[in-house]
Chains A and B, each alone.
Chain A
């Protein structure tokens, strides 16, 4: 069974631009979560989607948004990029909304210049 895939793997953007990252969960998984990983703050929860609905959101500004499609694929968008948004963005999928076991993708490395 294929794992969680994320595209693109690497991205360079300029401050003020916006970016969209994509995540395809493991087949059959309906819950998708997003995390931001930085050297200073570590791993932080962004939001979680289940059946196309955002169930919870971490402590991030409204510039960070996401959505989930009917096939469970998910996208996250960051508008008006800031230098501090440079990070590894990880997507994780799990079987259903009550599943504790999350499987992570390789991440998208975003660099904002």
Chain B
């Protein structure tokens, strides 16, 4: 079945540091890929998405590129802020939405001032 693997952390960085959270996947067919973010006490918010190979999703300074050859969708940001502290989930769906999202375990990101 489908699966997503991501570093679990916690990942601790200083403000303005560069961020990379690795995500690799196994899926049948051609999945759509997502990054979701969860702030303390809240539900998940869609951060960015990519629906086909070589697509780049971007939002709020975060970027991720759909790499079919390496089955990866790494999340990057050039300069993180304290407000970026949250748990980040990589996810995919390959069933048109009907099979639901398959999530990674989540990466807890802590940004120190």
A94 to B46, CA, bound (A): 12
The smallest C-beta distance from A109 to any residue of chain B, in angstroms, reads 9
Number of chain B residues close to chain A: CB under 8 A:
26
A98 to B94, CA, bound (A): 11
CB <8 Å contact, A101 and B96: no
Where chain A touches its partner, the secondary structure class is strand
CB <8 Å contact, B98 and A56: yes
* Cβ-defined partner of B51 (8 Å) among A48, A56, A90, A100: A100
Question: Interface on B for A, CB 8 Å cutoff?
Answer: 32, 34, 36, 41-46, 49, 51, 89, 91, 93, 95-106
Question: Interface on A for B, CB 8 Å cutoff?
Answer: 4, 31, 33, 35, 42-48, 50, 55-56, 58, 90, 92, 94, 97-107
13 additional A-B pairs beyond A48-B99, A98-B96, A106-B43, beta carbons within 8 Å, are A31-B97, A35-B100, A42-B103, A42-B105, A43-B101, A48-B98, A48-B100, A58-B100, A97-B98, A99-B97, A100-B34, A100-B97, A104-B43
